[in-house]
């Protein structure tokens, strides 16, 4: 499978995650979101950028429980709960946001 | 719930790169951490090399997953036992290892050391107390 971003074809796996992490550009998130009938706002981007920074530092995509706790610590308590995160990413903040961020499926996500 | 909590220990005794064991162990630990068990890790023999600081895998084209050990605290994995004799036999000290910390939620998020240096005899006792032991 592949997605078209900025005129380039980027390879994705059978679940829609980018195969090469280095292929990621912000347009990837916008196009994946459009396929899910979602328009990304600043609040989505806060989470996507947060996930990319987390991956950069730890080399893993965090499990939802860890993401929730870390978001609360970094972006404020009112955002560090699953209600807020699921409202932004209805298919699951771990899976969906990680996919938009160009990361692999979260470790521990079954 | 408390009677359902089992003591899980993961033994790591191989060098980090060259085989998949160290990374597989780490992934299993992260997955297992979702089940709210009492998890600890032991590093001995060449396994102590897994915790070396400043690892650089660019020359061997494998993923440098050593930063992932720093995420273990986020997963409530806070007990990393390192065997003193294995370090000494390899000319290493605690200063050669990554400074791994976890934050104690019940103690105003105080940072605490994850690595616990133990002797071979102490580690034997700790392994003895486990319900389930995985060897990598």
Q: In chain B, what residues touch A70 (CB-CB under 8 Å)?
A: 74
Are residues B30 and A70, on separate chains, in Cβ contact within 8 Å?
no
Nearest to A101 by CA among A11, A3, A13, A32: A32
What is the rounded distance in angstroms from the CA atom of residue A1 to the CA atom of residue A18? 10
pLDDT tens figures, A22-38: 999 999 999 999 999 99
Q: Which residue has the tokens 């807020």?
A: A84
Residue entry with tokens 């771990």 = A94
Kindly state the tokens that stand for A53. 């920074």
- Between chain A and chain B, the number of residue pairs with CB atoms below 8 A apart is 35
pLDDT tens-digit map of A70-94 = 899 888 888 889 899 999 999 888 8
> What architecture does CATH give domain A2-100?
Orthogonal Bundle (1.10)
pTM score of the predicted model: 0.87
pLDDT in tens, B14-24: 999 999 999 99
What is the ipTM metric for this complex? Answer: 0.82
Is the CA virtual torsion B112, B116, B117, B118 positive or negative? positive
A63–B34: do the CB atoms touch at under 8 Å? yes
Answer yes or no: are the C-beta atoms of B117 and B48 closer than 8 Å. Answer: no
**What residue ranges define each of the domains in chain B, with the CATH number in brackets?**
2-135 (3.40.1260.10)
Query: Cβ(B52)–Cβ(B98) under 8 Å?
Result: yes
Judged by CB atoms closer than 8 Å, whether chains meet at B65 and A110 is answered as no
């Amino acid at each position: 499978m592949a997605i078209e971003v900025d005129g380039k074809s980027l390879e994705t796996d059978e679940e829609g995650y980018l195969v090469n992490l280095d292929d990621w550009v912000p347009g990837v998130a916008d196009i994946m979101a459009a396929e899910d009938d979602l328009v990304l706002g600043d609040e989505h981007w806060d989470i996507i950028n947060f996930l990319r920074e987390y991956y950069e530092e730890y080399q893993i995509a965090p499990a939802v429980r860890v993401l929730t706790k870390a978001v609360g610590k970094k972006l404020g308590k009112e955002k560090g709960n699953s209600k807020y995160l699921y409202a932004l990413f209805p298919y699951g903040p771990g899976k969906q946001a990680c996919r938009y961020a160009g990361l692999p499926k979260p470790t521990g996500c079954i | 719930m408390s009677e359902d909590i089992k003591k899980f220990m993961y033994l790591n005794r191989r060098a980090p790169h060259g085989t998949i064991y160290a990374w597989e162990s780490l992934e299993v630990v992260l997955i297992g951490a979702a089940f709210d068990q009492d998890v600890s890790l032991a590093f001995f023999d060449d396994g102590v090399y897994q915790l070396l600081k400043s690892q650089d895998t660019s020359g061997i084209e494998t993923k440098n997953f050593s930063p992932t050990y720093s995420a273990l605290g986020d997963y409530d994995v806070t007990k990393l036992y390192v065997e003193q004799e294995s370090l000494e036999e390899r000319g290493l000290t605690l200063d050669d290892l990554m400074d791994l910390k976890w934050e104690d939620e019940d103690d105003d998020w105080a940072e605490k050391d994850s690595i616990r240096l133990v002797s071979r005899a102490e580690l034997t006792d700790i392994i003895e107390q486990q319900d389930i032991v995985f060897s990598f």
